[in-house]
Amino acid sequence: MAEASRPISDRAARRIAVISMHTSPTASLGQNANGGLNVYVHEVATAFSDRGIATDIFTRQQSPDDPAIEPLAELSRVIYLPAGRGLDKYSLYNEVPAFASQVLDFAEREGISYDLLFSHYWLSGEVACLLRPHLASGWAHVAHTLGLVKNRSLAAGARPEPPLRIRVEAEIAQQADLLIASTADESAELVRTYGAVPERVFVVPPGVDLSVFQPVDRDEARRKIGYGPGRLLLFVGRLERLKGVEVAIRALALLRDRNHDDVRLLILGEDSKDGDEGEKDRLKAVAADIGVRDRVDFLGSVAHHELPYFYSAADVCVMPSYSESFGLVGLEAQASGRPVVGSDVSGLRSVIRDQVSGYLIAGHDPAEYAERIGRLLEDPELAQQMGRRGRLLAQRYSWTRTADRLRELFEDVAERAQIRVHATARQE
């Protein structure tokens, strides 16, 4: 049988069922609930494929145009299930049993067995909890964000995460065989706050595609995105209060008051329908009220492969987030050779070095952001030095390194799960 025509299961050393119920790795970034989680699932599945590990990624149909199955890499495919189309993530909880049932039906029709469940975010963790007794004996989970952590540092007017989510996260933390944390702080939160067994929690930082995110000549980058002279600030992410975009807009107004009249703020992203729908309109009103609407460009979502041009075109990347589980945008910016001015939260502290590759600011005072951004705008040599250092720091992170570490951990979980299954069978 020719290699290309053989079933994936015959060509794979392992097969993993990846559960990503609420968002797809193929979705456009910067809108709805799409962001770092999508990149994580896509990049890890691709890297696993290169290592002979097959992944079936189960997600839900977002539109009638979604196919039933879509290839992602040689040994990876996305399976779109018709469950909960158009619902926000909180309403999706009621669709969890139906989604899990459809995953089981698919596996039965295809005659597939899996070595491991790999769930992403609390909703998918709940799906995996239902699937575990029937589909795979081992279960690994990545939270991506934690509700209790988000609720501790809410932006004004932001909706807190509901008790339902907190309860489900606690159940996942105590039941999954393996919990993957992106940072040491997240690992500590899982143990201290959610009651996870420390021996089941491992820190595996996400990565960045260093072949895609690298410095591009600034003039070329600006031609590519349609901008000429003048200094540019850049925000990348979903438009929700959690991300602190208003802080960046107010900092721009303060910079303009200090004779930085040529500075523009480019905002890449769309409203998050899971949280603050209408945030773009609110931010436009804020910009108009403080007199900088003509200097703020809302550019919507951008394809992931186009982001390096925006990073390279910018003078500074701004990340005033109230909470970040991992600073993937900051990592991409640094890989592109740009300094970052961001909030001093755990996810950003893990990738940005204060006064080395940018500035980390405690709190969300626009004046402090304006002051640090102003330093970089007024001292291009300092900005270039920080950008070069950021590029060196980013080279410590790669998806190949992430995938290799996950493979090691998954092998251990799969082997222990098999031992458990055989022991149970003997007792019966």
155 and 275 belong to one structural domain: no
**pLDDT-derived band at 90, boundaries 50, 70, 90:** confident
Query: How buried is residue 387: exposed, middle or buried, by Cβ count under 10 Å (0-12/13-18/19+)?
Result: buried
263 and 383 belong to one structural domain: yes
CA 220: distance to chain centroid? 28
DSSP code, position 260: -
State the pTM of this model.
0.90
379 and 357 belong to one structural domain: yes
225 and 174 belong to one structural domain: no
Averaged pLDDT of the chain? 90
Total domains in the fold of the chain:
2
- For residue 162, being part of any structural domain is answered with yes
Q: What percent of the chain has pLDDT over 70?
A: 92
**C-beta separation of 337 from 309 below 8 A:** no
- Span 32-81, pLDDT tens digits: 444 788 899 999 999 999 999 999 999 998 878 888 999 999 999 999 99
- For residue 212, being part of any structural domain is answered with no
405 and 381 belong to one structural domain: no
Strand 69-73, strand 76-81: pairing: antiparallel
| Domain boundaries, position 361 | 218-394
418 and 377 belong to one structural domain: no
**pLDDT-derived band at 24, boundaries 50, 70, 90:** confident
- For residue 213, being part of any structural domain is answered with no
Least confident of 52-56, 221-225, 421-425: 421-425
Residues 6+ apart with CB under 8 A from 351: 205, 326, 327, 330, 331, 334, 393, 394, 397
Q: Is the pLDDT of residue 316 over 80?
A: yes
272 and 358 belong to one structural domain: yes
Which comes out higher in pLDDT, residue 214 or 12? 214
Strand 14-19, strand 340-343: pairing: unpaired
402 and 388 belong to one structural domain: no
131 and 189 belong to one structural domain: yes
202 and 238 belong to one structural domain: no
Which amino acid type is present at position 207?
Answer: G
Closest CA to 18 of 146, 142, 204, 134: 142
188 and 286 belong to one structural domain: no
What pLDDT sits at residue 277? 62
CATH number at residue 13: 3.40.50.2000
**C-beta separation of 234 from 316 below 8 A:** yes
Q: Is the pLDDT of residue 149 over 70?
A: yes
Number of C-beta neighbours around residue 417 at 10 A = 18
- Span 230-286, pLDDT tens digits: 999 999 998 999 999 999 999 999 998 888 889 999 999 988 765 556 899 999 999
276 and 340 belong to one structural domain: yes
Least confident of 8-17, 34-43, 110-119: 8-17
